[in-house]
Structure 1
């Protein structure tokens, strides 16, 4: 009985992958990264600015039908923001804090594709999950000594004996929206918007959510002609 079940499982798996037409590839590009930041009680939305960043990694394209596919990926993705904090009095110099965060990110996009010219135009959406691996926060001003903080991805607040360390929650999750064009020979161009939905700050009275606009180029191997 176990032998029959094993043979049936193998047969179904082979049939699924035969139908699915899985292709693998690489992808890399530019991130215009920033954050939505709210601080204080009652909360005040901070004025954040974009920082240039990048992403690079692997993708798989699983054709579910002629027009639909599932496209998971695994990326090294850099995020962050620049935040200007005004001085406490009028005319006092502001302080600039620049945050760089590096994640391993797993997006899973559901795509609709349509034949157009020498390839297919596509659009889709899906969730993503990311795990923080490294980061820096640089604080600069004209009249004070510049400071640099190492980011530790732990869900705890800064203690007095770790003044050079800032903490960020290790997990980030949200939604991803993507559109682009795929040539028959495998070259892919795309734009995507990543919207963080989880608060990555462990500090009281503070909310931080990642977001970025990405522009990518990729190549899918073993494309079916």
Structure 2
């Protein structure tokens, strides 16, 4: 796990170093309001989706020219995500389960930005990688875990194996995530950015239990409206 985090860090560092050397690279800062959720299914392929939860993203990115109107745009960001289960689901959550999660993410979009009016259209698509750093859970009433009654809130953690942890800790998902990222936006006067972004996880984040796979599937999904400023 630590090795993967180190690799991701140095990948970011390499991208930004290349950007600095290129000389024509433009940096941007951005913030977003997001609506995130998870998509779950059980071994019988019954699809379920909890209610979305509002969060936010903040990030620092670069626009690295390739040729013509094409460029590559990596953005390192911190994202607050989550979901709400308002009823009992077959995958195991009880009623009124509210999750708030935190991720470090790196979407890398290949962007086409033709001139349009007083600025440029932004059409981008590419992969992303993310790492879950933790979170909190809450319910309306105290929760019974095995034969022990605990409080109505606790810590969310990201682990590959859900068979160990502290009392009141809920192992939500595996920490490493990846998938597809896309955006449509506009850059006004070469400075001001507004973008509609979508992120769809492809990795099954459902953790194992002492090596046993229960067959459930869990994947992240989110929409975001971001604004930014190009330095």
The Cα shift of 1:141 comes to 4.8
Aligned equivalents of 2:143, 2:136: Cα separation in 1: 21
Question: Is residue 35 of structure 2 the alignment partner of residue 32 of structure 1?
Answer: yes
Aligned equivalents of 1:134, 1:201: Cα separation in 2: 15
Residue of structure 2 in register with 1:78 after alignment: 80
Residue of structure 1 in register with 2:114 after alignment: 114
8 Å CA contact 2:201–2:219 kept in 1: the answer is yes
The structure with the largest alpha-carbon Rg is 1
Residue of structure 2 in register with 1:196 after alignment: 201
The Cα shift of 1:148 comes to 1.6
8 Å CA contact 1:158–1:165 kept in 2: the answer is no
The Cα shift of 1:188 comes to 0.6
Spell out, residue by residue over 1:25-76, the C-alpha distance to the aligned partner (whole angstroms, 9 max, x if none): 101110011110123x424222411100100010100111221010001000
Partner SS state of residue 222, structure 2: strand
8 Å CA contact 1:132–1:170 kept in 2: the answer is yes
Q: Specify whether residues 173 and 107 from structure 1 end up closer, same or farther in structure 2 by C-alpha distance, changes over 3 A only.
A: same
8 Å CA contact 1:43–1:205 kept in 2: the answer is no
Residue of structure 2 in register with 1:162 after alignment: 166
Q: Specify whether residues 158 and 139 from structure 1 end up closer, same or farther in structure 2 by C-alpha distance, changes over 3 A only.
A: farther
8 Å CA contact 1:47–1:84 kept in 2: the answer is no
Partner SS state of residue 22, structure 2: helix
The Cα shift of 1:178 comes to 0.5
Aligned equivalents of 1:121, 1:170: Cα separation in 2: 34
8 Å CA contact 2:120–2:190 kept in 1: the answer is no
Aligned equivalents of 1:87, 1:111: Cα separation in 2: 39
Task: Tell me the C-alpha RMSD between the 2 structures.
Answer: 2.5
8 Å CA contact 1:95–1:141 kept in 2: the answer is no
> Which is further off, 189-198 or 42-51?
42-51
Q: Specify whether residues 149 and 158 from structure 1 end up closer, same or farther in structure 2 by C-alpha distance, changes over 3 A only.
A: farther
The Cα shift of 1:134 comes to 1.7
Point out where structure 2 has 5 or more consecutive residues left out of the alignment. Answer: 1-17, 145-149, 209-213
Residue of structure 2 in register with 1:184 after alignment: 189
